[in-house]
């Protein structure tokens, strides 16, 4: 069967685009994050620009200002506690490292060297001596530039996103435009709902975890709760890691409400995370995300692991929505050929 030249051209362009994304994934990361950010903020910007009739650029600036004010308020409310918990956590980690070094000396000789290497890596990660601060400046400068790129790109995604999509559609032949519009409409609905649902899920789980850990008297409750919330962005793996971190902190913090010994506090925290996970699976996820991706759990797990292996941290987060988008394209193709 002869393949039409147009199909060969589009296949080549798609392959070239995938190659470019893979090889330049580090450079493109702030743009990927900006696109997701634009999806989340698009509804309030549309409300201001379509309903209240404000210029779209001004609508974006108002939403940006609202976010900055909200984050500033949260920093005033929780910033002092977060800074105190971070200092305490760093200090306690150093004490724990010293104790582990003592315990390591009792291990067999063949285990002492890898154990000491691991402990040294942990020490270096929490130690910020002046001689170690200087090498961080290039990385810090790069991250600062990426933040500006992120907000700059998000502004133009919000302002000209529709125009960009229309421009891409105009590149397609006339008989493909209707199909492209249908597919993009479905993908847009799924991605927008998924990303906004994930953001709400982060807020809900962070709040519930903070309340539970505070009642149990677990130290560093705010840090652990924030980590738990953002870990929800990585299905399966994130919640499991967050629960493990919380259990570890509960066992070694030396403080607990109700006079619970460390072992019982650890068990109680583990039970709390299990109950919150069940609550999330039974009520929060169906109501917030409405099963919008309709992906089998094994497909989600495979997508997350593959995305993380290929693209790193951004792959963990983007794997599920991108897989859902691919599923939409395949389903549409099967509908047309069926």
**Do 232 and 304 fall within a single domain?**
yes
| Whether residue 221 is found in the same domain as residue 85 | no
> What's the pTM value of the predicted model, to 2 decimals?
0.68
* Confidence at residue 59, expressed as pLDDT on a 0 to 100 scale: 93
The answer to the question of residue 316 being in a domain is yes
pLDDT of the chain along its 338 residues, tens only?
556 666 677 678 778 888 888 788 778 888 888 888 888 888 899 999 988 989 999 999 999 999 889 888 877 777 677 777 777 666 666 666 666 667 677 767 666 666 666 666 655 555 544 444 444 445 555 667 778 888 889 998 898 888 888 777 777 777 677 777 888 888 887 887 787 788 888 888 999 999 999 898 888 888 889 889 988 888 778 888 899 888 888 887 766 667 778 788 888 999 999 999 888 877 766 655 555 667 777 787 888 888 888 877 778 878 888 888 888 888 877 777 75
Mark whether 88 and 205 lie in a shared domain: no
Nearest to residue 218, comparing CAs of 182, 252, 193?
Answer: 252
Segments forming the whole domain that contains residue 318: 172-338
Among residues 101, 132, 160, the one where a domain terminates is 160
3-state DSSP call for residue 56? helix
Whether residues 120 and 207 fall in one domain: no
Kindly state whether residues 264 and 212 are assigned to the same domain: yes
Do the domain assignments include residue 16? no
Q: Which of 139, 160, 181 is the last residue of a domain?
A: 160
**Residue 244 shares a structural domain with residue 264:** yes
One domain, residues 188 and 141: no
299 inside domain: yes
* Same domain? 31 vs 105: yes
Query: Hey, how many other C-beta atoms are within 10 angstroms of the C-beta on 60?
Result: 24
In a domain, 147, yes or no: yes
| Residue at 10 is within a domain | no
Query: Is the domain of 331 the same as that of 186?
Result: yes
Structurally, the chain folds into a number of domains equal to 2
> Are 178 and 155 in a shared domain?
no
Q: Is 122 among the domain residues? A: yes
Neighbours of 187 (CB within 10 A): 19
217 and 333 both lie in a single domain: yes
Which of 140, 160, 180 is the last residue in one of the domains? 160
Place of tokens 């330049």: 24
Query: 165 in a domain, yes or no?
Result: no
**What gap in Å lies between CA 336 and CA 333, rounded to an integer?**
5
Residues with Cβ within 8 Å of 287's Cβ and at least 6 positions away in sequence, in order, are none
Q: What is the 3-state secondary structure (H, E, C) of 185-251?
A: HHHHHHHHHHHHHHHHHHHHHHHHHHHHHHHHCCCCHHHHHHHHHHHCCCCCHHHHHHHHHHHHHHH
Looking at the fold, whether 148 and 186 belong to one and the same domain comes out as: no
Helix axes 262-279, 174-216, angle to 10 degrees: 150
Q: Given the structure tokens 């506090």, which residue do they identify?
A: 265
Assigned domain for 14 exists: no
């Amino acid at each position: 069967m002869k393949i039409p030249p147009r199909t060969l051209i589009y296949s080549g362009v798609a392959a070239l685009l995938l190659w470019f994304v893979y090889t330049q994934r580090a450079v493109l990361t702030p743009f990927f994050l900006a696109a997701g950010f634009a999806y989340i903020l698009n509804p309030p910007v549309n409300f201001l620009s379509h309903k209240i009739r404000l210029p779209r650029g001004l609508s974006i600036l108002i939403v940006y200002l609202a976010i900055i004010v909200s984050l500033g308020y949260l920093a005033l409310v929780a910033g002092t506690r977060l800074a105190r918990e971070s200092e305490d956590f760093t200090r306690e980690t150093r004490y724990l490292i010293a104790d582990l070094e003592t315990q390591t000396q009792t291990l067999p000789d063949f285990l002492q060297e890898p154990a000491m290497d691991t402990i040294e890596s942990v020490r270096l990660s929490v130690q910020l001596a002046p001689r170690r601060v200087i090498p961080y400046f290039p990385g810090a400068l790069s991250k600062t530039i990426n933040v500006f790129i992120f907000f700059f790109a998000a502004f133009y995604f919000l302002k000209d996103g529709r125009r960009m999509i229309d421009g891409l559609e105009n590149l397609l032949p006339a008989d493909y435009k209707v199909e492209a519009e249908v597919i993009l409409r479905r993908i847009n609905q799924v991605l927008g709902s998924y990303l906004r649902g994930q953001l709400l899920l982060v807020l809900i789980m962070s709040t519930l975890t903070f309340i539970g850990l505070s009642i149990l008297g677990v130290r560093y409750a705010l840090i652990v709760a924030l980590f738990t919330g953002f870990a929800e962005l990585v299905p399966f793996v994130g919640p499991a890691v967050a629960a493990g971190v919380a259990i570890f902190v509960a066992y070694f913090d030396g403080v607990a409400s109700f006079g619970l010994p460390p072992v019982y506090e650890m068990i109680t925290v583990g039970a709390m995370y299990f109950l919150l996970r069940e609550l999330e699976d039974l009520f929060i996820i169906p109501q917030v995300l409405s099963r919008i991706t309709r992906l089998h759990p094994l497909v989600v797990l495979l997508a997350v692991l593959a995305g993380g292996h290929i693209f790193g941290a951004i792959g963990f987060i983007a794997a599920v929505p991108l897989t859902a988008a691919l599923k939409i394209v395949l389903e549409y193709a099967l509908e047309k050929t069926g």
